[in-house]
Amino acid sequence: MLEVQEVSKTFNARTPNEVRSLRGVSLVLDPGSWVIIIGTNGSGKSTLLNAVAGTFFVDDGKIRLGERDLTRLPEHARAKWIGRVFQNPFSGTSPSLTIRENLSLAARRGMSRGLGWGLRSSLVARMRDEVGRLNMGLEDRLENAIGSLSGGQRQALTLL
First-to-final CA distance of the chain: 20
What whole-number percentage of the chain has pLDDT above 70?
Answer: 93
Dihedrals φ, ψ of 77, to 5°? -75, -35
Q: Is residue 83 part of a domain?
A: no
Domains of the chain: total: 2
CATH code at 7?
A: 3.40.50.300
Q: Does the model's pTM come out above 0.85?
A: no
Does position 86 have pLDDT exceeding 80, yes or no?
no
Domain that holds residue 107: 99-158
Length of the chain: 160
* Mean pLDDT across the chain: 89
